[in-house]
Structure 1
Amino acid sequence: MSEPKFSESEQELLQSLARKKNDTGPILELSRIYLRTGRADQALILLAGLAERQGMALKSLALALNGRNAEAIDLAGFSADPEEDPKILHMLAYWLNQQGCFAQALAIFRAALSRAGSDAGIRHDYAIALQRTGNLPDALLQYQAAIGQDRENPHLAFNLALALEQSDRLDDALSQIERVLAIAPDHLGALYRRSYLQRLLCAWEDYPGGLAELSVALERHLQKPGEEMISPYGLNIHFPDDKLHDRAAACYARQITEQAMNQGSLQPARRVKKSGRLNIAYLSPDFNSHAVGSLISGLFACHDRKKFKVFAYSLVKSGDGIQRQVETGVDIYRDVSLVAPARIAAQISGDDIDILIDLAGYTRNARPQILAMRPALLQVSFLGYLNTMQAPFIDAVIGDAEVLPESEESGFSEHILRLHRCFLPVTPRDVGSNPGRGKLGLPTDAFVFCSFNHSYKLQPQIFALWMKILRTAKGSILWLLADRATIRDNLLAAAAEAGIGPERLIFADRVPLTEHLARMKSADLLLDTPGYNAGATIIAAAQAGLPTLTLRGNRILGRMGASLNKTLGLDELTCDTADEYLGRAHDLVKDRDRLDAIRERLENAAAEKLSIKEYCEDLENLLLKHYRQISVQA
């Protein structure tokens, strides 16, 4: 969510209070700024004098700012009185929302709106609270009502764009981002989301210019970050410059750490266990039908219970089959989707977790603030964030010798832990029978290249290379995952510019994983995306017996295909140059016998080398070894 910058408003309010010390309006507004910028102690000083003259809401807020959170939350239950000052109700609701007390926050937001009549600021924060609880339809209504009152507020307009994006209204979200930039051309968050949405929609025409603007804005931000916080995740998509990502990640990690310190929520130091089994925990928003969830859901049941007690903390509730598999595979499953980071950290600390494995990093719905509060002795990044986090609260990252060779170590702040196989876990899946090309709309006798990667991993350069492959491989087709008309139209236009007719591109919709695995059998060769490789997709392809042609890149996200091919003994499918990639694709089209032999080797190797039980044993040995090293140091 976007927050406005407060420095100018703060100075004006201080000047106003200098003229009139007991003016309630400026006191409340300045307290609101202090509360939102992590200066609860200063807010408390201002509000203390008002508490005796006001009702339950302000008394509850004063208790909160004095660190007496439990009493404040109890008292807040009596604070939704529409006769209270709406500014006080607004501040209390905002604080409760930050604490994860969403039901109380929403009730008090409604009381504040009832008292204030129509207030854009209250509606804005109410919309944010609704969005955080997953009530996107009502959040959109509140955002739109607030914008009707405050059309020139870029932060409000930007948060509406985020809600539209989260509602999967991507074209509307991109249009809304353009409106934000019309109000505030230098809005970094809007520049960031515009480039991402352009990649997601394969709207490449305006992408280079927007990327140049984003690069300038990022440099300006990194030189003087201020209050704005920008996750570095998108840089993995947009920029091949590792240094830019690393600087942005370090900046973001500092801001996250400062937040944790300002909240006073750092957990007590953990002691090393010299004997007995360890408590290991996995933290993720993606215990569901997400790439991470599909890969890891079968791992938890494989842990050796003589060595580990297994916990899972779920940041997003879905209730789908993958989440149920995770829940049954662990010893303790905690749904913390509606709990504030400080309370989650306290729960992890209270559960006496020894090793905390973060599966999200800086990705969507991640909460790195939890890790910044240091609830576990050993905190490890794994699988979800495919780069360094540059964070003092992440001790180690898990990879393998291919995705994290020694040459990469200098760029990582984390200690690198290397598995003896491809670092991607493989949860066993039932691969149904091939439905046949006819039912899938594929030509029966053509060579079928495919790419089922997410559209944001596509870029003009690799798409142009694929069009070259189609030109040299007469009669071949490219089968792509594109379930949105805008994406299909943009890809067809790009193909036409390269001289490839629309009949050479065939588009697939999203289907359940079991159906997806079955239909993959109808393809001949999966073309990986350089720069940002497929992850879960190449694992699914291996399970379906579909070989992957990959072009080795940098860091974890650009070397996953090479890692899997190495584990499977298929190094000849890993290329180091675009020319080699093009030539290898052409050779396999011409030599079907060679391709058939590769598929047979793949099927045999997948059965032998992708065992989830052996993977789990390797992972446990790696973690125990590093934990013992910490014990020796301690």
Structure 2
Amino acid sequence: ISSTQDVDHVAKEVESNVDHFVRVGHLDDERAAREVQSLQLDLLVELGGHTRGSRFRLLALHLAPLVLHFQGFADSMGCDSVSFMLVDQVVAPPELRSLYSEHLVYLSPSYHFYAPELNRFPDWNADAPPPRSSQKYPLFDSQVSPDRIQEHVWQTWLRVLRGSQGSIRLRQGQNSREEHELLESNLRASASLAGLPPSSVSFVQQLPSKEHHLRRLASADLFLDTDAYSAHSTSLDALWAGLPVLTFPRESFASRPPSSFLLALGMGELVARGAE
């Protein structure tokens, strides 16, 4: 069931691999609900959650006896119309069950799946950046949305840069040009106050293809994760590219997926227990 009006390559691929593909994006909530109810589903898997473009209000119209919330929104839905949520014991520790309105269904070792668009490691030697060994000082990367970088996280990163004489590469956000220029100016000024040269902070644009994105990640030495809302699929991209991810989990689900991935991969030493 597709609840949006988008017809992209993902929707087409799904449609070609299922027996029935129902589009309700063009219908209002009441008509869409009737269409879904007519299918007499036993279980509805909800993937959108409280995200932009999601039709989560439809869930209140009792589309199926059981509704399962999975992956698209990194937290509890916080409503009675969702029955279950797929998690693991890292992202949703049993002692924090009270934070969730759903019944938690635990997968092991991790709740997340990752299917890279590239089925093999790309040829990093073709048009790739210089290898890390040719760089004198470490290059850190954090290809997360800049609005996830809180002040205490940024100050921790500046301490890392001072101690290592390294540099950090950040992703340009989707803000207006004026907002980005202000953000860049503020972060560079903060780095300067910390005694770091202007070259220690750089900003890069989103690349047009997954392969170029992975090549860029592979050219760094360590991915620095944010804490309140961590890198999810992006951290998996980094690991697929061979770039270690350093993460610092908090209590919330949104902060914990990279910890789940690292522990599942036997890389628990990269799950920090504190800012130091």
Contact 1:317/1:335, CA 8 A, preserved across alignment:
no
8 Å CA contact 1:408, 1:555 repeated in 2: no
In structure 2, relative to structure 1, the CA distance for the partners of 1:523 and 1:351 (3 Å cut) is: same
- How much does 1:481 deviate? 0.8
1:424 equivalent in alignment to 2:112: yes
Deviation at 1:418, TM superposition (A): 0.8
Structure 2: distance between partners of 1:505 and 1:322: 35
Gaps of 5+ in 1: 1-311, 580-634
Distance between the aligned counterparts of 2:225 and 2:211, measured in 1?
A: 21
- For 2:17 and 2:109, how far apart are their aligned partners in 1? 23
Aligned partner of 2:34 among 323, 334, 346: 346
CA apart distance, 1:357: 1.3
Deviation at 1:393, TM superposition (A): 0.3
Aligned-pair CA distance for 1:501: 2.1
Residues 129 and 215 in structure 2, CA contact (< 8 A), matched pair in contact too = no
Q: Hey, what's the Cα distance between the residues in 1 that align with 2:205 and 2:96?
A: 37
Number of the residue aligned with 1:326: 14
Equivalence for 1:313: 2
Partner of 2:80: 392
Distance 1:349 1:479 in 2: 49
TM-aligned CA distance change 1:495 to 1:385, over 3 Å? same
- Return the match for 1:444 from 115, 132, 135: 135
1:193-212 counterparts in 2 under 5 A?
Answer: none
Q: Work out whether residues 2 and 22 of structure 2, in 8 Å CA contact, stay in contact via their aligned partners in 1.
A: yes
Match of 1:609 in 2: none
Distance 2:79 2:66 in 1: 13
Name the SS of the counterpart of 1:489 in structure 2.
Answer: helix
Which residues of 2 match residues 484-523 of structure 1 at below 5 A? 485-486=180-181, 487-511=183-207, 512-523=209-220
Larger Rg: 1
Kept in 1: contact 2:228–2:252 (CA 8 A)? no
C-alpha distance in structure 2 between counterparts of 1:569 and 1:555, whole Å: 22
Whichever residue aligns with residue 76 of structure 2, its letter is: T
Find the counterpart in structure 1 of residue 94 from structure 2: 406
- The 1:379–1:519 alpha-carbon spacing in structure 2 relative to 1, beyond 3 Å, is same
Shift of 1:316: 4.1
In structure 2, relative to structure 1, the CA distance for the partners of 1:329 and 1:556 (3 Å cut) is farther
2:149 alignment counterpart: 458
RMSD, aligned CA? 1.9
Q: Report the number of matched residues.
A: 263
Matched, 1:382 2:78: no
Q: Secondary structure at the match of 1:397?
A: strand
Q: Does 1:558 align with 2:250?
A: no
* 1:438 shift after superposition: 4.8
In structure 2, the partner of 1:538 is 235
Paired with 1:542 and 1:325, the residues of 2 have a C-alpha distance of: 26
Distance 1:524 1:535 in 2: 19
Offset, 1:351:
1.7
Deviation at 1:437, TM superposition (A): 2.3
Aligned twin of 1:366: 54
Query: In percent, how many aligned pairs have the same letter?
Result: 28
Aligned to 1:578: 275
Instruction: Classify 1:508/1:330 alpha carbon distance in 2 versus 1 (closer, same or farther; 3 Å).
Output: farther
Give the CA deviation at 1:445: 3.5
Q: Name the CA shift for 1:450/1:316 in 2 (closer, same or farther; >3 Å).
A: farther
CA distance in 2, matches of 1:576, 1:540: 23
Shift of 1:318: 4.7
Residue aligning to 2:123:
433
For 2:18 and 2:169, how far apart are their aligned partners in 1? 38
Alpha-carbon deviations, 1:399-430, whole Å to 9, x = none?
A: 10111111111121110011112212111321
Q: 1:348 to 1:514 in 2, by over 3 A?
A: farther
Per the alignment, do residues 410 and 466 of structure 1 end up closer, same or farther by CA in structure 2, a change over 3 Å counting?
same
CA contact (8 A) 2:146 2:170 kept: no
Q: CA deviation at 1:323?
A: 3.4
What does 1:264-279 correspond to in 2, within 5 Å?
none
* Higher RCO, Cα 8 Å, sep 6+: 2
2:161 is aligned with 1:470: yes
Aligned residue identity for 2:201: L
Instruction: List aligned pairs for 1:71-82, cutoff 5 A.
Output: none
Number of the residue aligned with 1:481: 171
Post-superposition offset of 1:341: 1.5
Q: 3-state DSSP class of the match of 1:336?
A: coil
Runs of 4+ in 1 over 4 A off after TM superposition: none
